[in-house]
Amino acid sequence: MRHQRRRWVWAAAAALFIPLVAACGQTSGGSGGAGATINIGVEGPMTGQYADVGAGFWDGAYAAAREINAEGGLLGGKLNVIQADDVSDPSDAIPVINNLIDVDHIVALDGPNSTVLPAIEPILDAAKIPTMFQGGSTHFDSNTDQWVWRPSPSDSQLGVAMAAYAISKGYKKAALLLISASSAQTLGGVIKSTYQKNGGTIVDTETIQPGETSYRSEVQSIISAQPDVIFTQVDAISAAPLFTDFAQLDNLAIPFIGSDLTAGSDFIKAITPAIAQKALVSIQGSTSAGPGTPPFVKYYDQVYSGAPVSGANYSYDAVMELAMAIEKAGSTDPAKIVAAIPEVSNPPGTDVSDWATALAAIKAGTKVHFVGAGGPAGYNSNHNSVGTFDAFQSNATGALSVIGTVTAPQMLAANNGTLGS
């Protein structure tokens, strides 16, 4: 795949480039003195079945590091992001995180995903590593871990937004079409519960295994159930034959509402922009509330070709928020970093969307509120991000545009089961 090939070319380049731009800085393991090079780990499935997820983690983090180093640096020095591959396997993740901590001396972590976090969370806690975990698991909704934060939407809220959008469009009957991964199954449960309590009916549920060459039996089952809409979360590789089957069997007559994963350029390319334009609307955290996307795209485009892959915006935001917290704290002391995260993320404050503006404001003692590529930052008492959601649709070239918004009042009504009344 193009993204896998591109990722390893740039991963190799990153190993050479970032230490070079750091010049003579000394690597910091925690003191974060002026002029030091500060290491942040980026952990995820860089290879294997979910490599496209890892691509989003790495691409976004690397774009953030380029911006920070080009626009003033971090604590007077440089930021070094270090790629770590856990293959989305808890047993592989344990030595990976130990290496990041003991050998690379990271002061913070971007990642991992929901599958891996429970296995390494005790290690992160023991080492006091501020972590921006990238995953939708609803288990984290009640988080009490002071070291772990989530900059991307919970499946509970993403699922509510997907169901709310369907109800607002008048879709009364729906099918669920999900990959077998636990995160997708969790999301499906939230969609089903929210949709039903707001007056919708689920007429069919299909779970597919990733990487098959055809899904005709599952597709035919859904078509026979005659839903008004199909809720979906599947990986890009599986999506290609899946949407081809729908195109052949019913000419894509049933619209799809997809999760944020379906908004990635890798997904749009896999199913083709023409099919995406005709049949798919993707729901993800709102990016329409501020100028958070242009700085991200500027530095992303310096390294990668094509539109950002799914999840890259949230990973970019995570590294930016960690860096702002480190700058605000004035050191890499972990307790000071986690205390500073809400100071730079939560409103009120002066909205900042690029590193140069944020750095100047923090140095001036101004309270800032980061408005990132994934929308306005902000965390509740359980360190979960909050906000509204947008509905995106592709054009014939694969470019996405916002075609609707699920507002905060709509989210509240959907959660309460009153949106359809």
Model confidence pLDDT, tens digit, residues 109-127: 999 999 999 999 999 999 9
233/343 same-domain check: no
Write down the pLDDT at residue 152: 85
The reply to whether 302 falls in a domain is: no
Write down the pLDDT at residue 205: 98
The reply to whether 297 falls in a domain is: no
Write down the pLDDT at residue 388: 78
Residue 279, phi then psi, degrees to nearest 5: -125, -10
pLDDT band for position 9 (cuts 50, 70, 90): very low
The reply to whether 303 falls in a domain is: no
Walk across the sheet containing 350-352 and list its strands: 350-352, 368-372, 375-376
Write down the pLDDT at residue 31: 43
The reply to whether 145 falls in a domain is: yes
126/269 same-domain check: no
pLDDT band for position 16 (cuts 50, 70, 90): very low
Whether the predicted pLDDT of 2 surpasses 70: no
Residue ranges making up the domain that contains 402: 155-287+389-416
- Average per-residue pLDDT for the chain: 89
151: nearest Cα among 61, 62, 82: 61
Write down the pLDDT at residue 72: 97
Higher pLDDT, 25 or 318: 318
Whether the predicted pLDDT of 273 surpasses 70: yes
148/159 same-domain check: no
Whether the predicted pLDDT of 342 surpasses 60: yes
193/281 same-domain check: yes
Q: Specify the pTM.
A: 0.72
Instruction: For residues 367 and 322, give the distance between their C-alpha atoms in angstroms, rounded to a whole number.
Output: 16
Q: What is the CATH number of the domain that holds 200?
A: 3.40.50.2300
Q: What percent of the chain has pLDDT above 70?
A: 90
Write down the pLDDT at residue 290: 53
146/201 same-domain check: no
Higher pLDDT, 375 or 343: 343
pLDDT, tens digit, 9 for 90 and up, residues 230-247: 999 999 999 999 999 999
Number of domains in the chain: 2
Q: H or E segment at 360? A: helix 355-363
Whether the predicted pLDDT of 318 surpasses 60: yes
Write down the pLDDT at residue 397: 94
Write down the pLDDT at residue 293: 87
368/398 same-domain check: no
29/118 same-domain check: yes
Whether the predicted pLDDT of 378 surpasses 60: yes
Whether the predicted pLDDT of 207 surpasses 70: yes
24/58 same-domain check: yes
The reply to whether 232 falls in a domain is: yes
DSSP 3-state of 12: helix
The reply to whether 301 falls in a domain is: no
Instruction: For residues 117 and 94, give the distance between their C-alpha atoms in angstroms, rounded to a whole number.
Output: 10
257/397 same-domain check: yes
Contact predicate 191/176, CB 8 Å: yes
165/146 same-domain check: no
The reply to whether 298 falls in a domain is: no
Write down the pLDDT at residue 14: 41
Write down the pLDDT at residue 3: 33
Write down the pLDDT at residue 22: 33
The reply to whether 212 falls in a domain is: yes
Instruction: For residues 25 and 76, give the distance between their C-alpha atoms in angstroms, rounded to a whole number.
Output: 10
Higher pLDDT, 162 or 137: 162
Q: Are strands 368-372 and 350-352 parallel, antiparallel or unpaired?
A: parallel
pLDDT band for position 90 (cuts 50, 70, 90): very high
15/162 same-domain check: no
Whether the predicted pLDDT of 380 surpasses 90: no
Instruction: For residues 57 and 44, give the distance between their C-alpha atoms in angstroms, rounded to a whole number.
Output: 7
Cα torsion through 94, 97, 101, 107, rounded to 10: -140
25/41 same-domain check: yes
Higher pLDDT, 183 or 169: 169
